[in-house]
């Protein structure tokens, strides 16, 4: 993609500064160039924002699933695995996955939500396992992306660690690797001294999902939410923290924390564990709870599976409160992640009475989730900046080289901005979004939700200004 050096000047009365105050001024953005910030300036601008609009730091989302991967050569598969793979079958699986959701669609969705950098999971056919496959697929993502993407390397038994990176453990994931016991312990040992993250959605140890369904006979909407309940999350987190201590990790990140008790378990463990314990709060868990699911139309509720389960209302309220208190205490290692999981509707269909793939398409609605916290639970815009932009940017910068400093709205920093009107009412239009995001399989669990607020106007990613009020369109 050719790069223009055209600068755009944008003026606003509401520029979010790092200390939580608002200032008037002008920001100047040019592709690949650092931000120029002129506080108090009343000089002419190319884009003069209305008084109600805000300029904040662009959001960094450390947890997305974009599904696309590179297609290896037969020689690459033979040398770098997976061992014994049928090459033709592997390539067919890759092409099938790539056809369902592309890096480009994911980037357009992110830009729509004010997100200008993401961390992508590597659970794809021929995923980024080991140094060669990771670098090969990271290169593919970098070449295809519209903004910086940090590709998290996938951990597998026997696969070498990548020094200085954060390995992604799918061993705790029901429906994923499903690793337990000594195999998972050996995998962690390979990452001694390194950072690891994990999904905290392990299955019940003594009962399968079909057995549970037969015994409990829950409402189909609540099957996952009763099976993967708070107890299974706490057990998974406890087991994984013990493995990390035994293996001598430097850092262990719990992904998509769904309840207040689960977050409190992580915060309490920081006092005793000899490694860092950053915490990623699942963004949709502050919106959806079991009670809210039951009031939805069933058509929408049945595509809104999550693992871990959606919390009870009580556990959701405690998650919202503990997260708010932690960020206001000055915690720099707690942040949001959407776990944007773009399964097509067919993948979420019931089969033999059991639900399909969990997860929702929600990164494009990040701003509306933040609005829920601001207008219903007293979060400030600065709380959101810390949780959605400053802290996740600093975390991701430990493992990826950005061209300029990130996580700060300052002259000379990387020009990453989210520009939005927080007061504008919003309603999901699936047909329009499918066209705007170049996603023919688009569907939204937010369809029909009332009272949503916030409209994204522009997203700036490394100096490139995108008009995201309609179809995301670069302006410079």
Q: Each residue of 370-420: pLDDT tens digit?
A: 999 999 999 999 999 999 999 999 999 999 999 999 999 999 999 999 999
Q: What are phi and psi of 422, to 5 degrees?
A: -70, -20
* Contact indicator for 136, 76 with CB cutoff of 8 Å: yes
Q: If pLDDT is split at 50, 70 and 90, which confidence band does 299 have? A: confident
User: Could you give the CA distance from residue 149 to residue 33 in angstroms, rounded to a whole number?
Assistant: 18
pLDDT on residue 308: 87
Given a cut of 60, whether residue 34 has pLDDT beyond it is: yes
Is the pLDDT at 1 greater than 50? The verdict is no
More confidently predicted of 9 and 225: 9
Give pLDDT, residue 221: 84
Handedness of CA 202, 208, 209, 213 (dihedral sign): negative
In the predicted structure, residue 472 carries a pLDDT above the cut 80: yes
- Over residues 455-467, mean pLDDT: 98
Q: What is the pLDDT of residue 174?
A: 54
Would you state the torsion angle of the CA atoms of residues 216, 344, 114, 383, taken in this order, to the nearest 10 degrees?
Answer: 10
* Neighbour-count burial of 215, counting CB atoms closer than 10 A to its CB (0-12 exposed, 13-18 middle, 19+ buried): exposed
- Residue 177 binned pLDDT confidence (cut-offs 50, 70, 90): low
Annotate 214-256 with DSSP letters as a single string.
Answer: HHH---GGGHHHHHS-HHHHHHHHHHHHHHHHHHT-SEEEEEE
**To the nearest whole percent, how much of the chain has pLDDT over 70?**
97
State yes or no: pLDDT of 134 exceeds 70.
yes
Q: What is the mean pLDDT of residues 134-145?
A: 96
Tokens of 127: 């995923």
Mean pLDDT of 136-144: 96
* CA nearest to 349, candidates 307, 296, 308, 302: 302
Question: Among residues 475, 473, 390, 371, which one has the least CA distance to residue 111?
Answer: 473
Does position 175 have pLDDT exceeding 80, yes or no?
no
pLDDT at 251 over 90: yes
- What span, in angstroms and rounded, lies between the C-alpha atoms of 246 and 252? 12
Q: Give me 369's structure tokens.
A: 């989730």
Q: What is the mean pLDDT of residues 312-336?
A: 97
The per-residue pLDDT for 293 is 86
**Does residue 219 have a pLDDT over 90?**
no
* Phi, psi at 443, each rounded to 5°: -155, 155
Average pLDDT over residues 444-457: 93
Give the fold, CATH level 3, of 59-407: TIM Barrel (3.20.20)
0.85 exceeded by the pTM?
Answer: yes
Confidence of residue 333 (pLDDT cuts 50, 70, 90): very high
- pLDDT, residue 262, reads 97
φ/ψ of 134, rounded to 5, equals -65, -50
pLDDT at 101: 93
Binned at pLDDT 50, 70 and 90, residue 173 comes out as: low
**In the block, which residue shows the tokens 């009580």?**
314
pLDDT at 452 (0 to 100): 95
For the cut 60, the answer to whether the pLDDT of residue 422 exceeds it is: yes
Average pLDDT for residues 20-28, to the nearest whole number?
A: 97
Is residue 4's pLDDT more than 60?
no
pLDDT-above-90 percentage for the chain: 77
Is the per-residue pLDDT at 287 higher than 60? yes
Q: What is the residue extent of each domain of the chain?
A: 59-407
| pLDDT of 122 above 70 | yes
User: Does a cis peptide bond (omega within 30 degrees of 0) precede residue 82?
Assistant: yes
Distance CA 256, CA 45 (A): 40
DSSP labels for 286-308?
Answer: GT--HHHHHTS-HHHHTT---SS
Listed in order, strand segments (DSSP E) in 333-413 are: 334-337
Is the pLDDT higher at 42 or at 242? Answer: 242
pLDDT of residue 2: 40
Amino acid 359: pLDDT: 83
Q: What is the pLDDT of residue 157?
A: 87
């Amino acid at each position: 993609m050719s790069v223009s050096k055209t600068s755009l000047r944008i003026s606003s009365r509401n520029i979010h500064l790092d200390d939580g105050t608002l200032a008037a001024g002008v920001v100047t953005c040019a592709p690949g160039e650092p931000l120029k910030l002129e506080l108090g300036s009343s000089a002419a601008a190319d884009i003069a924002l209305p008084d109600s609009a805000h300029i904040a730091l662009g959001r960094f989302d450390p947890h997305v699933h974009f599904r696309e991967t590179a297609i290896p050569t037969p020689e690459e598969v033979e040398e770098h695995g997976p061992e014994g793979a049928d090459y033709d079958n592997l390539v067919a699986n890759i092409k099938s996955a790539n056809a369902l959701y592309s890096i480009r669609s994911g980037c357009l969705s992110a830009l729509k939500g004010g997100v200008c950098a993401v961390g992508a999971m590597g659970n794809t056919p021929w995923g980024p396992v080991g140094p060669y496959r990771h670098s090969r697929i990271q290169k593919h993502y970098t070449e295809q992306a519209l903004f910086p993407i940090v590709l998290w390397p996938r951990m597998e038994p026997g696969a070498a660690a990548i020094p200085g990176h954060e390995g992604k453990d799918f061993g705790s994931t029901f429906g994923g690797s499903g690793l337990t016991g000594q195999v998972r312990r050996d995998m962690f040992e390979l990452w001694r001294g390194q950072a690891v993250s994990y999904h905290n959605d392990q299955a019940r140890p003594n009962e399968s999902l079909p057995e549970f369904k037969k015994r409990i006979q829950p409402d189909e909407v609540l099957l996952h939410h009763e099976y993967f309940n708070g107890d299974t999350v706490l057990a998974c987190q406890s087991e994984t923290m013990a493995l990390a201590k035994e293996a001598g990790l430097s850092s262990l990140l719990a992904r998509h924390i769904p309840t207040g008790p689960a977050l409190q378990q992580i915060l309490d463990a920081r006092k005793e564990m000899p490694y860092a314990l950053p915490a990623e709060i699942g963004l949709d868990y502050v919106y959806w709870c079991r009670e809210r699911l039951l009031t939805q139309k069933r058509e929408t509720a049945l595509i809104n599976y999550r693992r871990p389960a959606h919390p009870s209302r009580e556990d959701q309220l405690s998650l919202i409160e503990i997260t708010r208190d932690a960020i206001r205490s000055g915690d720099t290692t707690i942040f949001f992640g959407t776990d944007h999981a773009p399964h097509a509707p067919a993948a979420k269909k019931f089969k033999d009475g059991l639900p399909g793939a969990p997860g929702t398409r929600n990164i494009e609605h990040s701003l509306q989730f933040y609005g829920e916290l601001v207008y219903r639970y007293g979060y400030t815009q600065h709380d959101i900046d810390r949780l959605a932009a400053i802290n996740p940017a600093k975390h991701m910068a430990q493992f990826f080289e950005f061209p300029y400093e990130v996580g700060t709205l300052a002259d000379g920093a990387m020009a990453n901005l989210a520009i939005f009107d927080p007061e504008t009412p919003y309603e999901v239009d699936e047909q329009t979004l499918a066209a705007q995001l170049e996603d023919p399989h688009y569907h939204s669990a937010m369809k029909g939700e009332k009272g949503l607020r916030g409209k994204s106007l522009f997203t700036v990613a490394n100096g490139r200004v995108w008009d995201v009020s309609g179809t995301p369109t670069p302006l410079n």
